[in-house]
A = this chain, B = another copy of it.
Amino acid sequence: MVPTSEPGDSLAEPPVVRALRDALPGGSVLSDPDQMEGYRYDRAMTVRPGMPVAVVRAASSAEVQATLRIASQFATPVVTRGAGTGLSGGSAAVDGCITLSTERMREVRVDAAAMVATVQPGALNAEVKAEARRHGLWYPPDPSSFEICSIGGNLATNAGGLCCVRYGVTTDYVLGIEVVLADGRALRLGGKTIKDVAGYDLKRLFVGSEGTLGVITEATLRLRPLGPPLSTVAATFGDVVDCGRAVARIMAASRPSALELMDAAAIAAVERVRPMGFEPGVGALLIGQCPVDAAEGAQLAAACEGCDATYVAVTDDPDEGELLMGARRMAIPCVERLGTVLIEDIGVPIPSIPALVGAVAEVATRTDTMIPVIGHAGDGNFHPLVTFDPTDADARARAELAFDEIIEIALALGGTITGEHGVGSLKARHLSAQLGSDVVELTSTIKRALDPAGILNPGKWV
């Protein structure tokens, strides 16, 4: 338990903090700057966070409600925060805000008969998976950060991951939520029923809204039977055009359990840390997984061979498979050894993959910036890793230019500025270019209807 400030401090405190402390006893409220420091940031390294007036470590839905009632009363902004692993600055503090942490709300209850997990937002994705597994069930969505990210953050960003290509993203698993509105009212939307079209699909309006419409305090998530053992196929290509053709051919025939791409720069970054023995001149690596018993593994390998793969390996051994997929999982940490990384999260229609990867390489050359590309190829969702020396102001400027240019490329290809990480602060100024003014206006209309005083995560993207 983190100690609260001394009672003697309270006279110097702003009234909103005093009101929070009165309403939330038991160490839920922090206002000491040192204690608050770790709650200001998420993992969007280039976003400059503000300074909260208080951090509330809510222990229950009732405490979330009390916090929002007080925030409304004092017109104080509220930035909700899960585990702080976000990559877009969505939970970065704004000056004078209440940062509302859900880290203490971690209950996970599995109803095995109904095949659902009822979870509080602070539970980690891995904790939900583990509890489901204890009941012989599976919660599929698997952001790469699944061991350290919270399910509440997953809900706030509609997080994806590697297995989405076959099993869908977070919103596809949400049967019901409890959400606290800006005025402190708690609503229940949906429940344990699988198909339900009674009224608007309001729960899906809150999922992915990045804390701007309400605070999800509980979710009922659909579980699946445990996934099958997987075959893993790794294929290298002389260039990314061939690799892109293979992706399209694979997706036209099946839905693999994962289909990950690394370009030459990403392979090189991993090779430097953990040599995999790839020949020089490899243009792209594709790693696919599919159920062992199905014919899909052979089909997947054949599709790669038919698209001029230079090398194809298939294994049904789970350890070998994990070793191959591990190279992909290591890509971001390996690249982070080389500099500060601005992580893109663009998406394009599948036929545009070669054009996208080619254009990113062109930007890298032109801006003299290292930009390895990894991505969930089967979904057309890519993470160009714009890497720069943080001590070099010119390199930073070039990297920021490259970041913007890549977003523009994605939009020009009919794509999106964010496939699974959220808009946050990092991509806020690009959102209107994607949505257009009428959709931005509709977005604001919805926002005003639900949060008329604009206290929920203000100044990010709405």
A residues apposed to B, CB below 8 Å: 112-116, 136-137, 157-158, 160, 164, 168-169, 171-172, 181, 185, 187-189, 191-202, 204-205, 207-209, 213, 224-225, 248, 251-255, 293-295, 347-351, 376, 379-381, 414-423, 427, 431, 434-436, 438-439, 442-443, 445-446, 448-450, 461
Contacts and interface: CB of A to CB of B under 8 A. Distances in A.
A381 B201 contact: no
Contacts of A434: 198-199
A418 B198 contact: yes
Number of copies: 2
Nearest to A159: B197
A451 to B, nearest CB: 11
A89 to B, nearest CB: 14
A439 B209 contact: no
Contacts of A436: 187-188
Contacts of A348: 193
A211 to B, nearest CB: 12
Contacts of A192: 349, 414
Given A185-B438, A225-B255, A255-B225, A198 B380 contact: no
Contacts of A248: 113
A250 B115 CA distance: 12
B172 A381 contact: no
A193 B347 contact: yes
A196 to B, nearest CB: 4
Nearest to A88: B197
A257 to B, nearest CB: 14
Contact of A200 (B225, B253, B443): B443
A187 B437 CA distance: 10
A164 B294 CA distance: 22
Contacts of A171: 201
A380 B193 contact: yes
A442 B214 CA distance: 12
A337 to B, nearest CB: 28
Nearest to A422: B197
Contacts of A253: 225
Contact of A195 (B213, B379, B431, B446): B379
A415 B347 contact: no
Nearest to A295: B293
A415 B348 CA distance: 38
A351 B113 contact: yes
Given A224-B255, A295-B293, A379 B194 contact: yes
A252 B414 contact: no
Given A113-B350, A187-B439, A351-B113, A205 B200 contact: yes
A202 B446 contact: yes
17 contacts: A158-B197, A171-B201, A187-B436, A191-B416, A193-B416, A195-B379, A195-B381, A197-B418, A197-B421, A198-B418, A198-B423, A199-B461, A200-B446, A202-B443, A205-B446, A224-B255, A442-B450
A158 to B, nearest CB: 5
A213 B381 CA distance: 31
A442 B115 CA distance: 29
A200 B196 contact: no
Contacts of A213: 200
Given A115-B350, A197-B419, A225-B251, 19 more contacts: A158-B197, A188-B439, A191-B414, A191-B416, A193-B348, A194-B379, A195-B347, A196-B416, A197-B423, A199-B431, A200-B205, A200-B208, A201-B204, A202-B205, A202-B439, A205-B205, A225-B254, A445-B450, A448-B449
A172 B172 contact: yes
B351 A164 contact: no
A386 to B, nearest CB: 19
Contact of A199 (B196, B199, B443): B443
Nearest to A176: B414
B351 A114 contact: yes
Contact of A198 (B136, B225, B435): B435
Given A115-B350, A205-B205, A253-B225, A197 B443 contact: no
A31 to B, nearest CB: 32
A225 B252 contact: yes
Contacts of A164: 195
A225 B196 CA distance: 27
